């Protein structure tokens, strides 16, 4: 036997370079930053929960920024101002004029505002992005 024993060459396999690890950390940091930016922008444009979202319209009347009570009041005043204006129905050669107050119908403005507010709310991050549009027929 010799004092020299045969030696084996051992190759050490290195894992993926540290660069790949650094890339994943940068990706996670960038994704977290993007999420934070979306939240900040969403909160900034969320508007007040006590008012209707910007762009909310009912029967063509802009109500964005109003409280539900103020919106209902505006719609009632507008309807009252149009109560004596006849709606003309035409069938062939026949014309029929009827004033809204003759029909004995009452619009449910409170319900219309409630529905519009619910449609415009979304979640707090996207509240006000597009508003809500409700229409009644015939237009007043």
- What per-residue confidence (pLDDT) applies to 133? 46
- What per-residue confidence (pLDDT) applies to 14? 63
* Bridging pattern class, strands 61-62 and 87-91: unpaired
How high is the mean pLDDT in each 10-residue block of the chain (140 residues)? 64 61 80 81 63 88 92 93 89 92 85 85 46 44
Task: Supply the pTM of this predicted model.
Answer: 0.52
The three-class DSSP label of residue 103 is coil
Residue keyed to tokens 């930053």 = 33
The three-class DSSP label of residue 90 is strand
């Amino acid at each position: 036997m010799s004092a020299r024993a045969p030696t084996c060459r051992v190759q050490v396999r290195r894992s993926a370079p540290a660069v790949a690890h650094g890339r994943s950390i940068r990706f996670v940091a960038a994704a977290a930053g993007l999420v934070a930016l979306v939240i900040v922008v969403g909160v900034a444009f969320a508007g007040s929960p006590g008012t209707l979202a910007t762009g909310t319209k009912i029967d063509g009347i802009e109500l964005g920024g109003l409280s539900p009570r103020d919106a209902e009041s505006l719609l009632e005043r507008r309807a009252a101002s149009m109560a004596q204006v006849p709606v003309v129905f035409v069938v062939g050669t026949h014309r029929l004029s009827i004033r809204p107050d003759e029909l004995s119908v009452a619009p449910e403005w409170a319900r219309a505002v409630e529905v519009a507010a619910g449609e415009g709310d979304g979640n707090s991050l996207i509240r006000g992005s597009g508003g809500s549009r409700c229409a009644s027929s015939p237009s007043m």
